């Protein structure tokens, strides 16, 4: 279970017209992001989008299946859809628009620096 770099690059290239599309390594597979939203995954060199009513209405023939055992079902983007960059990008735009923005990240709390022995305390 992994994603070949050439598959990742091909998918990102095919979807580039949808917006700011990127992939990040997640547990040996790839998380797919568009315009700052988590929109799907690339698993075993296959593409899956989060399911939305709008995405299913746009391409109703695409089936749902989990990208890996134990996962929720995702919309499985078949090879013929991915080969048509315009249609694949449009599906990604529709899916991205239907998903909520992620909650803002809370600022991380800085850990206090550990002083070495001999340093005066502040």
Q: Which domain holds residue 91?
A: 5-98
The string of pLDDT tens digits covering residues 77-107 is: 999 999 999 999 999 999 999 999 888 878 8
**pLDDT band, residue 121 (cuts 50/70/90):** low
Give a yes or no: residue 115 inside a domain.
no
Give a yes or no: residue 111 inside a domain.
no
CA 40-46-51 angle, to 5 degrees, is 35
Give a yes or no: residue 116 inside a domain.
no
Give a yes or no: residue 88 inside a domain.
yes
Asked whether residue 111 carries a pLDDT value surpassing 60, the answer given is yes
Give a yes or no: residue 110 inside a domain.
no
Three state DSSP letters for the chain: CCCCHHHHHHHHHHHHHHCCEEEEEECCEEEEEECCEEEEEEECCEEEECCCHHHHHHCCCCCEECCCCCCCCEEEECHHHHHCHHHHHHHHHHHHHHCCCCCCCCCCCCCCCCCCCCCCCC
CATH number at 91 reads 3.30.1460.30
Looking at the 3D structure of the chain, how many domains does it have? 1
Give a yes or no: residue 56 inside a domain.
yes
Give a yes or no: residue 90 inside a domain.
yes
Asked whether residue 25 carries a pLDDT value surpassing 90, the answer given is yes
Give a yes or no: residue 104 inside a domain.
no
The string of pLDDT tens digits covering residues 4-15 is: 999 999 999 999
Model confidence pTM above 0.85: no
Confidence (pLDDT) at 6: 95
Confidence (pLDDT) at 20: 97
**pLDDT band, residue 45 (cuts 50/70/90):** very high
């Amino acid at each position: 279970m992994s994603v070949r770099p050439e598959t990742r690059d091909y998918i990102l290239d095919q979807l580039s017209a949808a917006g700011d599309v990127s992939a990040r390594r997640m547990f040996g597979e790839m998380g797919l992001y568009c315009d700052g939203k988590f929109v799907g995954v690339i698993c075993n060199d296959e593409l899956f989008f989060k399911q939305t009513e709008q995405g299913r209405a746009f391409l109703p023939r695409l089936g749902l299946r989990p990208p890996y055992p134990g996962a929720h079902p995702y919309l499985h983007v078949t090879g013929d859809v991915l080969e048509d960059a315009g249609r694949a990008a449009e599906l990604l735009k529709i899916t991205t628009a239907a998903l909520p923005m992620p909650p803002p990240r809370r600022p991380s709390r800085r850990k206090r620096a550990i002083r070495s022995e001999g340093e005066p305390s502040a």
